[in-house]
Each structure stands twice: as C-alpha cells, then as structure tokens.
Chain A
Amino acid sequence: MAESPADVLLKGSSGRTSRGLLRIIILATIAAAAVSSRLFSVIRFESIIHEFDPWFNFRATKYLIENGFYSFWDWFDDRTWHPLGRVTGGTLYPGLMVTSGVIYHILRFLTIPVDIRNICVLLAPAFSGLTAFAMYLLTCEMTASPSAGLLAAAFMGITPGYISRSVAGSYDNEAIAIFLLVFTFFLWIKAVKNGSIMWGALTALFYGYMVSAWGGYVFITNLIPLHVFVLLCMGRYSPRLYISYTTWYALGTLASMQIPFVGFLPIRNSDHMSALGVFGLLQLVAFAEFVRGFIPGKQFQRLLTASIVIVAGVAVVGLTALSMSGVIAPWSGRFYSLWDTGYAKIHIPIIASVSEHQPTAWPAFFFDLNFLIWLFPAGVYMCFRDLKDEHVFVIIYSVLASYFAGVMVRLMLTLTPIVCVAAAIALSSIIDTYVFASEGPSPQSTASDENSSSEGLRSTRGPNVGISSYLSKIIMTSSVVVYLLMFVAHCTWVTSNAYSSPSVVLASRLPDGSQFIIDDYREAYYWLRQNTPQNAKIMSWWDYGYQIGGMADRPTLVDNNTWNNTHIATVGKAMSSREEVSYPILRQHDVDYVLVVFGGLLGYSGDDINKFLWMVRIAEGIWPDEVKERDFFTARGEYRVDDQATPAMRDSLMYKMSYHNFQNLFQHGQAMDRVRNSRLPADTPQLSTLDEAFTSENWIIRIYKVKDLDNLGRDHISATAFDRGHKKKRATKKKGPRVLRTE
C-alpha cells in the first residue's frame, strides 16, 4: 500500500513532530475560541468593567499602578466605610491586581500604551486561554488517550460554568484563580506520580499564587490532604507520596502565610487543620514504614496498635484543648453554611442576601454544563476501572465538588474543571473505541495469531476487541458529533444571553429592533463625580458601594466588602426607619447624598424596593426593637407598595425616596410601578429632611441631598410644612420648657 502524504506526516519520527505541531495548533485554536467567546460584551457594549466586585478590583489595580507595590500593601482606604475606613491592603487577595500590574508594567516597558482598563477587562479571557492549556496538561496525566486532553481543553474553554465568571470585563479573583486551581492540581498530580521535589515545590509555588488570588484556595488546602489521606487509607503509602506532600505542605504553607490577609490562618484556623493533620499522619506512617524494616512482623503489629492509640488520644486531647483555649479559631460562618444550607439564613443574613450564595437549582447544572453533566458520572466510573493515584484524586474531587456545587451556586465554578476532565475521559474512550480501534484484525496478524495460539485455549487468545460494523461506527460517531455541535451551540447561546451583560449598562430593544442602551448608572455616577465635592459622602445600600467608589470616586458608607455587619445594619436602619429616626443617623455619619435605585418606571426588577426586606432583616438583627420585618407586611402577609402598604413601609425613608415626585410624572392617580405591577397612591410621599438632587433619565438612580440643619432651628418636618403653607395646629403646640437643640 502506497503511503499517503498524511501517513508521512502522522507516522514515524517526523510524525511525532508533526503531531506535536498539530496539537499545538489545536490548543492555540482552542485558546482563541475560549478568548473570543468571552468577548460578546465588548463587542455589544464596550470595554467596560462589569457588575460590582470587579469595580473594586479595578480601583485597587489603579491604586497599585499609581502608588507602587509597597503603598498598595499598606493601603488604608479612608474613602470607604466612612467613618471607619478599611485596611484594604491587609484585607484583600492581591494576586489579581498584582498580575495586571505586572502585565501593565511589562507593556509599559515595551512602550505599548495599553490602558489599564483594557488590561483588566481582557485579563479573564486571556487567563481562560491558559486554563484550557492547563486543562489539557491535567487530563493528559489522567489517561493515555491523546484525544482526551484536547477534548478537555475544548470543553473547559467554552463551558458556560466557567464562562459565567470569566467573560471580558468580569475582573474578579476567579478570573485567574481557576487557571491557578487547575494548574496547581496538574502540578500536584505530576509530583505524586514522579515523587519529585521539583514538582512538589512548583505545586507549592502555584499554590502560593493561588492563595494570593482567591479565598477559594481553601479548597486546594483541603483537597490535597484528603487525596493523601485516602491514598494512605487504601494502603498506598509510597516515598513518592511522602516527598511530594511534605514538600508541598512546608513550602506552600510558608508561601500562603506571606499574604497579609491569610497571615497565621494556616496554623490557627480549623479550615486548614486537615492539611496539618495529614502532614503529621504522613510522618507517623513514614516512621512506621521505617520501623517495619527493623522489627519482626508480630511485634510490629503490637507496636503499631499501641502507638496509634496513643497518638490518636494525644491528638484529640490536644486539638480539643487548643480549640477551647482559642488558639485554633473555630470554623468560619461561611464554612458552616456549606454544610447546613439554612445556617446562613438564620445567622448571617448578609451572606444569604447574595443571590450567588443560594443553593443551586438542578436545571442550573444542565444550563452550565450541558451534556458534560451526564458524561461526568461515566468518566468517574472509568476512573474506578484503573484506579491509579491520580484517578483517586479525580474521584475525590468529583464527589466533593458535586456536593459543594449543590449547596452554593457560585461553587459550580469549582465543579466545572473536574466535570470537563471526567467528561473528556469518557468521550475520548467512546471516540477511541468507535473511530480508531475499528479496523478488524489484519490478515497477517490473524495468521500469526493462529500459529502462536493454536495450542492454547480459545479464550486466552488475543481477544478480538473493537467494533467492526460500519453502521454502529457511523451511528456512534455521528451522534457524538451531533452532541458536540449542540454543546457548542448551547455554550454560545448561554454565553451570549446569560453571561455577557455588564449590568452597569442595560440594553433593550426599540420597536424597530435597534438597540437602545440604558445608561442610567453611569449617568448618575458621572454626575456625582463631576458635580459634587470630592469628599461628599454617599450613602447607598452596600451593593452599589464598589461602583460608587469606582465610577463616582466618592467616599461611601458601606460597600460589597461587607466586613462590618453593624455598619451595614446602620444603613439598613436609616433606610427602613421614619425620617425622624433616619435624619440623626445621616447627620452622625456625615452623609451628604443618599443614592437609591428605583426600577418602577422602567420595570427594572433589581431595584432597592425589592432588596428592601434584606435591609430590614439585617437592621432587625442588630436593633430588633426598632426595626421589625413584620411591620412591612400587611395583615395578610403581603409585601405591598400601593394604597394597602403598611404605615411602616410608607413612612420608611427608602419608600419615600423611591417614590418621591414619581406620581407627578403621570396623570393624577395613574402612577404605576411597573416592577411590582401596582398602582401607587395618588399623592407623592413628602420628604422633609432630604432634597432630590438628581434623578437619572429612566429614574433608575435617584440621588438625594441631605438637608443641613434648619436656619431657624425648627425641625425639618415643621419647616417643610410651613413652606407648604400648612398652619401649625394649635392642639399640637407644646407647652413644655424650650429645649436647646442638641446635635
């Protein structure tokens, strides 16, 4: 048979290089696909930072490149959490900002003037390309099949579960953390396989990078010890395991302690104790293995039993004592909420109020992973078939991550990599079976088979494995192709429709089909930035704190960092109380402007009235006597804003600010709230301690100026009543002695 040009390219030594080249080209294409599928929002809108947290990261990055690394490290930010401030340098994960800072300085060195905003916007897509590559490496460690790695890389590149956190503009810690997660796991597998200090040290290095980048590093901190622990329990102790784990643990812990925010947590926090425990256990096991070589078997058994009992006893007593005395910190609240989904709702409403902390609805799995989710168990099963050390890792990871993804929506992100690995293993074995192993035994080999095996039993002959029927081959391959195509279509659709909205800019369609951009957020933020004093304090619900800091560049009372629940509750109380109660709070906190988000005109459902109950709940957690959630529901248990609204609701500052003057836009009595679909009371709520300062074009953002004290020393309510021409009722005249205002 004459060699076709393809054979020349694909076989022999030149074949190896050309296959390598092909693989590189495929990987580069996958990376390009991964990057380009994340650019929907840049093309549709512009290069803009998305949502909430990224605005803080962006602001911090700008601070880093303006002031240098050391002042970033010592950064005390007095423009947030007024009047407390925030030790920002010590309470953030600096990995993301430092990464973009380094990229920025490299580009500056090459005198390529790229705006820092563009670096931040495109960082996540760029790293997703790297993630695809890391995925290829990780999967190649799991299976011998050459196609599995490439498939896994392709899956990882476009699966919505990962895209949800890494579209262009979503400049968040996860943007680089998933790459680091996958790459650290790859290095770990490599270290376990080779028992090499170098790979172990590299694992520790990237683990340190991961710690600097994302709080989710705890997942690695617990998963690797668990892997080792399971291997030990399976009786698979080996010097390779010892070398790689001890190297990783010692170096990795030191590296992680360099981050100020982490500090001494690795040796004091319960979340990190498993790593320390497994480290100790591994020493004992290694010692036992060492001793076994010198002591005869029976005595060794006795010694082993005794020492296990003693060590376990000491460990339990010691751990209890340390926990009681407080040297080891108890489990953190977020950790508890992982095991008990109701925990947060009762104890930490602020965590429960974030939508991404809610338990996952089951369609979300299919939405984010499409057909990978049902290939996933098959892949895990295949790992059970040849259970090497690395396959144990895949199994543990799958079990843990599946559980966590079920508990919290955002942890779908940690599940996605292992789903891609498992699905790629499963799919590649299908493809290998039906496409490559299909050529039946050739005549020559059959002949030699007959010669050699004529003496043996039929069953011991080389089994005739493989599918030879063309029909089944065609059916299987075509169905796989169809599934893959559907996957790609689904991923693109989900990315384009669900995950590519900047949420700062809203888009809608005009009747003629052209795009209409609703840019109210930036309109109002830019108004604040341009027309208020540099130090005007803005009070808003914490969701908008980072955006105000980033876009309006004004100090805020609370923001998305949520480190001080009491402060947030104070804002909640100010929003949910009557003006007489709120005004002193506003004065005490130097508030100049209050910002509320109101969607009633446009039907924008993510507004403050819909979030209002969380404000009430959080305030109630601190002042149960003054703010009561029950007061905001009608007698029939309804949450209403119309005529039937409860007095507490109608007197609350939030209600008044949202609907102030809104009725004047409509004919008398015709005012409709399009979010809650209810007709509003005919009269507009009267505000006496605040002035409307600015309202954006579609009324989404409303800004109020806090009035100064009245010049004549009246309280604001009577002052406004006087201005409106209402006479003071005689009956309400007080006869007590005059009291000086105290403020």
Chain B
Amino acid sequence: MRPFAAIAAFSGLFSSCLLVCAESTKDFTPPQAFKNVNLVRNTNLEKGYAREIINVVVENVDSEPRSSYYLAVPTELFDKVGGLEVRDKKAPEKDRFAVDSVLVESSSNSQYFVIDFPEPLAPKAQITLGISYYILNALSPRPATIEQSEKQFLSYSFSAYTPSAYPTVTQKTKLKLPSMNVPDYTVTSGLKSGEDPERLGTTYTYGPYDTSKVAPGTNYPVTVRYEFTKPVITASLLERDLEVSHWGGNLATEERYWLRNNGSALKNHFSRVEWTVSNYQQMPSVSIRELRVPLKPGAVDPYFIDDIGNVSTSRYRPGKLPARDASLELRPRYPVFGGWNYSFRIGWNDQLSSFLRKVSGGASDSYVLKVPFIEGPKVPEGIQYEHVVVRVILPEGARNVRYEVVDKATSNGLPNTDNIKASVTPHKTFMDTLGRTALTLTVENLSDEARDAQILVSYEYSLWDSMRKPVTITAGLLTVFVAAWAIGNVDVAIKKR
C-alpha cells in the first residue's frame, strides 16, 4: 500500500489534480527509440467486455537512455479503454508506471498512451512490461437481432498484429473464449507456417509470428464470433454515495444504476407466453433476470427501488458478523433483453466501526475511512461501467480531506490516480449549516474488476464539529420561542383594554 496521490483541500475549496498531457500534433509518430523483442497478448472474452494483458519485452535501441514508451491503441478503441495499468513484470511489487494519454489528430489510425519509466532505460537494456486494460463495448452482437429463445453470438474484431508504435520481433495473441461454440473465426493465410489459429479447448492462439520485417501499425483484421449465453450488462452511469455519520455510527451506501443490456435485440417483440414456457423449463436466457449483490457482513436495511417505487421482487439474505457476506438478490421488474434499459437504486447501512479508524497519535481527531471503490452486482458475465461517480460524504466540518487508492501487486481494476477526477464540495442536507464535506471521484470506463479496489480517505474532525448541529438546533428553537414570546407581548389592539 502506498499513497499514490493526495489531494489536500481546504474545506469548501476544490482543487483539481487532473493533469492531462494534451499534445495535439499532426501526423505524430513516436520517436523510434525502442524495439519489442517479444510480445504476448492475452485477450479474455469470457465476460461482457474484452480484457487484454500484454506482456512485452522492450529494448532500448537508441543511443541514449530513454524513458517514454508509447503504447499504440486504434483510434476507434481509444475512448473505450479503461483500467490501464503498466508494471514492470520483473518487479510487480513496485509501483505502477505513470501513464498519460496523447491526443493525436482524430484522422490518424492510432492514438497513444505514453508510459513513463521511473528510471530511464539505458541503451541496449531490456525491460519487461506488463500492460493490462479492458476495452468496453468492443463486443458486438451478430446477428444484431435474435428470436427470444435463440442463441446469442458476439463478435470481436482485432488485428492479428498487435498495434504498436515500435517494430516487434515476435508476437502472438491468445484468445480465451467463453464457449466451444465458435461458428466463425478468421483463418489467417501466409502469416506463419502451419495452422493458424491453433485451437485448444476454448483457447485460440494466433501466432507466434515473426514480424521483425513488418512495419509498426500494420493491420491484419481478425474476427471471431462465438456464442455468449449471458447478457452483456452495461451501466451507462453508476452513482455511488457513501455517507458517514459519526453520531449514528453508520455508513449509509446508496448506488444508482442506469443499466442496459448490450446483447442482441429481440427480432420480434417480447412474448410472455414463450417467456413463461422457457422459465418453466428453466432454459437459459440472454436477458438480465437476476442480479446478486454481495454485501459486507452486518449490512442492514437494504432497499431496492426505482423511479416509481419499491421493487417487490427482491430478496435479502442477511449476513453474519464477522465473516459471512450478506446477499441482496435483485430481480428487475421485467427481464431485460438486448437493447432494453433498466435503472434502479439500491442502498443499505453498515456499521461505521468496521470502516473507520481514529488515527492514534499525531494530530488529534484525525480519522481514516477505508471503503470499497465500487460494490454492486457480482455476476459471472461481468459488468462494464461507462461512467462512475463515487461520492464520499463526510461529516459536517471535516477538514484536510485526502484520499488514496489501496494498491496491490496485481491489478485492482482501477486506472492510475491521474485518471480519477477528484473534487471536494460542500453538500447540504439534514439541517446542516456549513454543509458536509463531499469528496467526489469520477472515473470513465470501469469494469466490475474494480470491486476489489479500496480507497482510503483521511480527514480531521474535532469535537466542536460534532457538537455544531445540536447547538444550532437548540439555538434555532430558542429563537423561535423568544420570538413567539416577544410577539405575544406586543399589544396591537385598536380599542383600549
């Protein structure tokens, strides 16, 4: 665990920490300072989004030490990349590398992320990079419309040559598909001797190719189409509020989802008869039928509502302290088929004591809050979040708010802290005078892998701050009584008493 970035904000003031390196250059080509000695790309398509891990051995071919490695991404995918994380494969316990995006003219075929090595790479030296990210909305249903109980197929297109800014000596791509039913896949010709791709179960391997002669940026389109028996769950927006109450000893969580199923749309309309029959026979369906949200043990008062009230079709299995998770089973009002939307909100309460620690020693009345970055449904098909807003609402009068993301040796699904927009604003509610301190974190393109990520929020909060509300209310009531007494004593009669 290590502090990545810390924002210090004086109460009510907002300080941005986002630094986007916006170099807009025409016909930009990265300086050819590196060479990819060996590149292995693992693409995992088992979920509703594409997960890629690229392990690449990079060698400095320049005459002087270099530290900026450019990662090429096709332009049409650039806005869909999320959770980009780069590490030194040989030393995974070390920090992530800093990553910035470079904006190139949009007509260009590739856009770039620039990876900064902490220490420049000496000439002829090599480094092994582990680059992991996921691509949202990269899987398209083919055919786009199906019958209600038909099978759903997704197709994924990519280049057999991994996009790169530098020449690559050898490379291969491993595809992990969710099912054996793969009606279409591109068979390459002339890229290598022998069968390409090689199939082993649900794993398809393209390559290895010797591409030392191939110019960087060469595209060899490959498409796979495979059966996907589950819905493609996409949240176009997730708003998550965590409200800390010292008086109540309570951590209240509310999450608002705008869900969509990006799978194949219905060719004809929804047929209830067919649905009832297939439900009766317990046939699998590509609609969102149920979502399970695991909650922390000890979570109480869960609710599941949408714009028009309580959704009665939910069940809650309470957990048991200290170990057994609670589970909230949500069943949307209707099965959400491809192209349909469903928005709802869920919420629950937790005991604050399992999330908040008072920092002993040092400055008095300093607290540290450790909460998950996102929770939400845990489903085998995964969920992609296009836009996530997490708001941590601290008690009224909390000062010196800092946050950091708890980092582990493996990916936690979150992008670098630079790509998390943070702001501190006041939030007025429940008879506040100053307003509570709300820390808002905004992330684009996230997947449910970020469920494992935890954030630490530290703040200062004094005894007087906690007494502010009772004092204010007492003073307010006193004012009312005094005013009533004073007005009652005013004699406004016209005639004499």
Residues of A within 8 A of B (CB): 45-48, 110-113, 505, 517, 519, 522-523, 525-527, 529-531, 551, 661, 664-665, 691-697, 699, 705
Contacts and interface: CB of A to CB of B under 8 A. Distances in A.
A693 B269 contact: yes
Given A111-B432, A519-B313, A529-B308, A695 B270 contact: yes
Nearest to A661: B273
A45 B312 CA distance: 9
Interface stretch (B113-121, B169-177, B338-346): B338-346
Contacts of B334: 523, 526-527, 694, 696-697
Interface in B251-276: 268-273, 276
B271 A112 contact: no
B190 interface: no
Contacts of B312: 505, 517, 519
Nearest to A518: B312
B309 interface: yes
Interface class of chain A by DSSP: mixed
A46 B309 contact: yes
A505 B272 CA distance: 20
B272 A695 contact: yes
A525 B309 contact: no
Contact of A522 (B272, B309, B429): B309
B341 A530 contact: yes
A697 B270 CA distance: 12
A48 B306 CA distance: 12
B388 to A, nearest CB: 21
A201 to B, nearest CB: 15
Interface of B: 268-273, 276, 306-313, 333-334, 339-343, 428-432
B64 to A, nearest CB: 59
Contact of B271 (A46, A48, A517, A692): A692
A705 B343 contact: no
B19 to A, nearest CB: 35
A112 B432 CA distance: 9
A110 B341 CA distance: 36
Nearest to A705: B269
Contacts of B339: 531
A110 B431 contact: yes
Contacts of B311: 519
Contact of B428 (A111, A531, A661): A111
Contacts of B306: 526
Given A45-B310, A530-B340, A531-B341, 7 more contacts: A112-B431, A505-B312, A519-B313, A527-B333, A665-B276, A691-B268, A699-B272
Residue among B310, B313, B333 with max Cβ neighbours from chain A (10 Å) = B333
B307, B334, B340 interface centre (most CB from chain A within 10 Å): B334
Given A111-B430, A112-B430, A531-B340, A525 B308 contact: yes
B435 to A, nearest CB: 9
A100 to B, nearest CB: 18
A529 B307 contact: yes
A57 to B, nearest CB: 15
6 closest A-B pairs by CB: A695-B272, A517-B312, A46-B310, A530-B341, A523-B333, A693-B269
A531 B288 CA distance: 14
A319 B312 CA distance: 60
A45 B306 CA distance: 15
Contacts of A551: 308
B275 to A, nearest CB: 9
B106 to A, nearest CB: 30
A46 B431 CA distance: 26
Contacts of B308: 522, 525-526, 529, 551
A523 B270 CA distance: 14
B395 to A, nearest CB: 15
Q: Which of A522, A661, A693, A705 has the most CB of B within 10 A?
A: A522
A3 to B, nearest CB: 33
A552 to B, nearest CB: 8
Query: B312, B340, B428: which has the most chain A beta carbons within 10 Å?
Result: B312
B25 to A, nearest CB: 42
Contacts of A110: 431
Contacts of A661: 271-273
Contact of B273 (A48, A664, A693): A664
A716 B271 CA distance: 20
Contact of B269 (A525, A665, A691): A691
B313 to A, nearest CB: 7
Given A48-B309, A522-B308, A530 B269 contact: no
Contacts of B309: 46-48, 522
A113 B430 contact: yes
17 contacts: A47-B309, A111-B428, A111-B429, A113-B429, A519-B311, A519-B312, A522-B308, A522-B333, A526-B306, A526-B333, A529-B307, A530-B340, A551-B308, A661-B273, A692-B271, A694-B272, A705-B269
Nearest to B476: A110
B272 A526 contact: no
A529 B270 CA distance: 16
